[in-house]
A and B are shown apart, each in its own frame.
Chain A
Amino acid sequence: MQVFKAFIISARKFFPVNLMYFVIFCVIAFAASSSSTDSEQSSFRTVSLEIGFMDQDGTSASRALCDYLKTLHTLTPLAYDEEALLDGLFYRTIDYILILPDGFEARLLSGTDENLYETVQIPGVYSSAFIDEQIDSFLKAAKLCLAGGLSPKDAFSRTSSALAESANQVQIMEFDDDSQTDSAMTAIFYFYQFLAYVIISIILTGLTPILSIFQEENLAKRTSCSSMSLFQRNLQLAFGSIFYCLAAWLLFIITSGIFYGEAIFSEKGLLCIVNSFLLLPLGVSISLIIACFAPSGNIITMINNIVTLGMSFLCGIFIPQQMLGESVLAFSKYLPLYWYVKNNDLISGFGSEPFTWPAYWKHLGILMFYGIAIFTVALVVSKYKSSRKRA
């Protein structure tokens, strides 16, 4: 096991750099887990706005609309005083002014949408659009009831009560596992999200230079002259690479176990671990292909940084995928870490789609496919280079 032994001894040289990665990552992970709260839950609350209204129509239709809005917001009847209304909006005592003019019901019944009602809003406030949407919902529902043959009075009162009942009912899709909302799970999610960057960095920083040492022309020639077969040499190099990567990965898994305790052994925790395991073949294959092309140590470091940082930014490790532009996402779909992050989002429930087993296996499969594909390319390049040297 001479090659394996030399591999491990050579790996010692990169221990300080890898230790630095590990320590920095642990500090960030620990800080993240300490500060993680149920912020996602507490940040959602129902908002009731101050609406000033002037019902100049006084019909069942206008009353029904006001009744409906009262179930959602605070409605204050106003007299028509333009200056007072503008002051109210300016000082934010009123968020929105609704004026239902004379003939509101008549126009609604005749199906005329023009000048049906008037509003005065604070420019650039999103909550106004929210109220617009609610009024629009009421009017559409009322028109449907009228079209269904109900009398105007019944149509408006039913619309009002039906919409009021459905208001404020937000359905949240939940996993069976209650730990979804657990703060430990949030911390685990962040840990495994950033783990992709750290693991790939550690593999590329440590493994690529070692592999390139063994591929260095003079040493490769010298080893080819020996009585050790090429298969033996490659096998031992493979063992060395597996040992190195597994050791780094296990270290992080144990660290996550220490940080998050039993939560890491929950279903989601284990799914995260399996997902992260597939980073190893990916890292090894990227490392091998860089070692095949890179001529010197400095260039290796440069390429490693470009690959790891580039993939991390583009694939949503540093910036959530939901915040990335469509064109960026369209490109990053061709990068393996995109599928790792997507799977991590899927497990944690922070992504745009709910967890399903087929989606999970699909993402794992794509990740594995990338690992195998890059590895195959690296082997072909390596074989081509060695055959050219012999020619």
Chain B
Amino acid sequence: MSKPVIQIENLVKRYKDFIALDHFNMEINEGEIFGLLGPNGSGKTTTINCLLSLLSFDKGTIQVFGQTIRPDSYDLKRQIGIVMQNVAVFDTLTVYENVDYFCGLYVKDKKTRRNYVEEAISFVELEQFQKFYPKKLSGGLLRRLNIACGIAHKPKLIILDEPTVAVDPQSRNKILEGIIDLNKKGATIIYTSHYMEEVEQICTRISIMDDGKNIAVGTSDELKQMIKKSEKIKIEIPVLSEEDLKNLRLLPHVLHADYQNCQLNIQCSGGRHNLVRILEYLQTRSLSFDRVYSELPTLNDVFLEMTGKELRDNA
């Protein structure tokens, strides 16, 4: 069994009367890409800031690599790389100088540092922009520079706090591929985002947060199995009587069925052959239909069912 890299127990953080983290628990194991998913204001960044000792907290314990982290835990901090939500680079330094600066905060040896910096720049594919100043870079390139600054010193634990905000799809894909690559090279990764597709795509385990609480933890499939809804079926039918709709609702595993704008929407709970069963019914009733869609539940559905709120709306 892999060792826990981070253990957070009963973490409470208050801003006067507002509770940002409410007895929050989290355990992240070595080699994981752990996703913190939640809408804005759910407590993701507060958790990260407490984890990095940037914020004090009211209650609870945080252990990183088995040790309690404090503002002066410099040896522990040496093993952590952070990519902030807001790009944190010097406008007065070039791309190379910026990566060199942040790498130099951890690595003293000049030769090693030079190699690390070149590797980091190559990793984010900014070789041809080495002498550019940040103001000359596009949003996507700037985000990649931000990542290079956070990972250049080859940390064991990398925390990426919404690294793809306001990034074009092409750069976003490159960033996500890079994160998977870093994980393959041995880094444990904490990835916070309110984009569920990203989290679902790259994270091995996900924690869903809301109002400073950990609502559910597990793999993507495990989270989806926690909810009743498992399949959404949409069928384009020109005509459907009220009686047929009632009969469809009586089919096994059908949780909900409605008919609007010549489209039949059915939500099913777990179980196999739901689609086959519905199509068979339509054929026996000689009802003609056009296109058929079947969607598996998303993390948004998980969040919706658990909190009654849309994850997307808050994003």
Contact surface of A with B, Cβ cutoff 8 Å: 2, 5-6, 9-10, 12-13, 210, 213, 218-219, 221-229, 389-391
Contacts and interface: CB of A to CB of B under 8 A. Distances in A.
B233 interface: no
Given A2-B105, A226-B105, A9 B88 contact: no
B84 interface: yes
Contact of A221 (B54, B87, B101, B102): B54
Which of A2, A218, A222, A224 has the most chain B CB within a 10 Å cutoff? A222
Q: Top 9 closest A-B pairs, CB basis?
A: A2-B104, A226-B105, A218-B88, A10-B92, A222-B88, A227-B78, A227-B74, A227-B77, A228-B105
B101 A225 contact: no
Interface of B: 52-56, 71-72, 74-75, 77-78, 80, 82, 84, 86-93, 97, 100-102, 104-106, 149
Nearest to B48: A225
Contacts of B54: 221, 224-225, 389-390
Nearest to A220: B88
B101 A2 contact: yes
Contacts of A5: 101, 104
A220 to B, nearest CB: 9
B92 A213 contact: yes
Contacts of A221: 54, 84, 88
B77 A225 contact: yes
Contacts of B91: 213
23 contacts: A2-B100, A2-B104, A2-B105, A5-B104, A6-B97, A10-B90, A10-B92, A10-B93, A12-B92, A210-B92, A213-B91, A219-B89, A219-B90, A221-B88, A222-B102, A224-B53, A224-B54, A225-B77, A225-B82, A226-B105, A227-B74, A229-B74, A389-B54
A390 B71 CA distance: 10
Contact of B74 (A9, A210, A223, A228): A228
Contacts of A226: 77, 102, 105-106
Query: Secondary structure at chain B's binding surface: helix, strand, loop or mixed?
Result: loop
A339 to B, nearest CB: 35
A224 B90 CA distance: 15
A229 B72 contact: yes
A227 B106 contact: yes
Contacts of A223: 105
Given A225-B82, A227-B78, A9 B105 contact: no
Contacts of B101: 2, 5-6
A277 B42 CA distance: 54
A13 B78 CA distance: 31
A391 B55 CA distance: 6
Nearest to A390: B56
Contacts of B72: 229
A52 to B, nearest CB: 78
Contact of B92 (A9, A224, A229, A389): A9
Nearest to B72: A229
B88 A219 contact: yes
A222 B92 contact: no
Nearest to B92: A10
Nearest to A2: B104
Given A2-B105, A218-B86, A225 B80 contact: yes
Contact of A6 (B53, B90, B149): B90
Nearest to A233: B105
A136 B262 CA distance: 120
A218 B84 contact: yes
Contacts of B55: 390-391
Contacts of A222: 82, 84, 88, 102, 149
Contacts of A390: 54-56, 71
B80 A13 contact: no
B302 to A, nearest CB: 31
Contacts of A389: 54
B72 to A, nearest CB: 7
A390 B72 CA distance: 14
A311 B5 CA distance: 57
Given A2-B104, A225-B54, A213 B90 contact: yes
Contacts of B78: 227
